[in-house]
Amino acid sequence: MQAATAHEEIGAASDPAAALMACPREDRLAAFERLPPPIRETVLDALSEDDLLAFVHDLDPDEARSVLTDADETTRETVLDRLDTERAEKIDRLLSYDADSAGGLMNLDFVTVSADRPIDAITERVRRFESRTGRYPTIFVVEDGDILGALPNGTLAMAAPDDRARAYVEAVPSVRYDREDSDVLAVFRENRDRAVAVLDADGSVLGVIHAGDLLGVVEDVAGETLFEFTGVAEAENALDGPLVKVKSRYTWLIINLGTAFLAAAVVGLFETTIAQIAVLAAYMPVVAGMGGNAGTQAMAVTVRAISLGQVSLATGARVIRNEAVAGAINGAIIGALVAVIATAISSAQFGVLLGAVVGVSMVANLLIAGFFGALIPLVLDRVGQDPATSATIFITTATDVLGFLVFLGLAQTVLL
């Protein structure tokens, strides 16, 4: 937990670059990686060339990539120029892959050996790799340019020196370097404890990804869910300046403005009724708000089931039905509560009738919320859209527009 304190101190320091360099060598990378992106950039800008070189110098190529990926192009090239050629080339190659792809996740801790190689020669090869890099490699076995698999842990210690790699090789999953990180995650879901080989277009091995490399991806995905859900651009960070925040969010707000005006238009239809019974305006946020809440609940449950592959539009009838029924039941509970309160506090003129209108509207709107809360994500998923991003808009539109329509329509019919 030491680095946790370290990165917080660096983030709060008046000179974060100096604070990073004051950190013990072995904690620097972990502290740096946990800094918010805007502070990482500040640090990289502020570090002198010598300090940045000292920082990057001790790191493995994939670690150096994760630092330099945030640096501007000039800084990056100056540093690479001053490292020894072999390392600089490795880092440069890793930097060339999209950060959100298999290539961007992989490291270079692997050797490839041919299937007919004897175990003692492989051990020698691995020994050289380890003394050069300080890392123990994954041992991929290839034949005629195709990957056969990898040697399981412990093979070198267990096998006879003149056995061949072929006798021990076990298949490993592989992905192409340009596959998205979420695809890589899907591969790990099926093969928890293995390494995944990253292949070039011609089938040769470019790198290796371990489960630990994926933890960061899954955490990003976790954060992204809430971001998508609220329409915030993925790259935004809490410490960004106001203008970055505005840019990251205004599109979503404008889209929602459309929804809001649609709801407003429905209310506008009942202007005369509201002028006569102004208390209706007070209950409008109650009916619409509860519908919105219930709808996003149904949506959250459905979106999660879709993302875990547990349900699709084809198998979703049961989900939609259960959500609609659950909505109606919750509507009856909430509706009864609201009806009693409304009856108690409203003027003698409407009393019980107003309570009944609010209560019945609540049942209807929560049923609507459950139905659309389940249906819309399933449909969006079916047509290839991301259900987490766009579903809220449609669901809120449904609960607002239909909610106001039912409530004000019923009020006009019953109370006037």
Residue numbers 325-384 binding a copy of itself by CB under 8 A: 325-326, 329-330, 333-334, 337-338, 341, 374
To the nearest 10°, report the CA torsion of 74, 76, 81, 87: -160
**Smallest gap from residue 238 Cβ to a copy of itself (A):** 3
Query: Residue count at the site for a copy of itself (CB under 8 A)?
Result: 127
Min separation Cβ 269 and a copy of itself, Å: 9
At closest approach, how far in Å is the CB of 58 from a copy of itself?
A: 16
Q: How many residues does the chain have?
A: 416
Site string for a copy of itself, 193-222 (x = CB under 8 A): xx---------------xxxxxx--xx-xx
Q: Does 238 bind a copy of itself (CB under 8 A)?
A: yes
Among 223, 340, 351, 414, the residue binding a copy of itself under the rule CB under 8 A is 223
Least gap, CB of 82 to a copy of itself (angstroms): 27
Report in angstroms how near the CB of residue 167 gets to a copy of itself at its nearest.
Answer: 15
Q: Measured from the CB atom, is 70 or 213 closer to a copy of itself?
A: 213
Q: Angle at the Cα of 135 (from 129 to 136), degrees rounded to 5?
A: 75
Stretch that binds a copy of itself, among 14-22, 162-170, 189-197, 349-357 (CB under 8 A): 189-197
Tokens 């049942």 found at: 363
Binding string, residues 56-85; x marks residues near a copy of itself by CB under 8 A: ------------------------------
**Burial class, 26, CB count within 10 angstroms (exposed 0-12 / middle 13-18 / buried 19+):** exposed
Q: Which stretch binds a copy of itself (CB under 8 A): 42-50, 81-89, 92-100, 319-327?
A: 319-327
- Distance between alpha carbon 246 and the CA centroid of its chain, in Å? 21
226 in contact with a copy of itself (CB under 8 A): yes
Site for a copy of itself in 278-317 (CB under 8 A): 278-286, 288-290, 293-294, 296-297, 299-305, 307-312, 314-315
Query: Which residues, including other chains, have CB under 8 Å from residue 364's CB and lie 6 or more apart?
Result: 331, 402, 403, 406
Beta bridge partners of 138: 110
**Residue with Cβ nearer a copy of itself (276 or 413):** 276
- Closer of 187 and 353 to a copy of itself (Cβ): 187
CB 23 within 8 A of CB 6: yes
What CA–CA distance (Å, rounded) separates 89 from 95?
A: 10
Least distance from a copy of itself to the Cβ atom of residue 164, Å: 16
Which residue from 41, 100, 130, 386 is in contact with a copy of itself, where contact means CB under 8 A? 130
Distance CA 330, CA 279 (A): 24
Q: Which of 18, 34, 87, 176 binds a copy of itself (CB under 8 A)?
A: 34
- Candidate ranges 48-56, 67-75, 125-133, 140-148; the one touching a copy of itself (CB under 8 A): 125-133
Q: List, in sequence order, the alpha helices (H) in 99-174.
A: 102-105, 119-133, 155-158
Decide: is 385 part of the binding site for a copy of itself (CB under 8 A). no
Residue 167 contacts a copy of itself per CB under 8 A: no
Reference 314, options 380, 378, 374, 391; nearest CA is 378
Residue 413 host element (H or E) = helix 387-415
- Evaluate whether 188 touches 196 at the Cβ level (below 8 Å): yes
Show Cβ contacts of residue 105 under 8 Å, excluding neighbours closer than 6 positions. Answer: 181, 184, 198, 209, 213, 214, 217
Which of 278, 383 has the CB closer to a copy of itself? 278
Minimum Å gap between C-beta 352 and a copy of itself is 18
Q: Which is nearer to a copy of itself, 265 or 352 (CB)?
A: 265
In 3D space, the residue among 52, 68, 4 whose CA is nearest the CA of residue 30 turns out to be 4
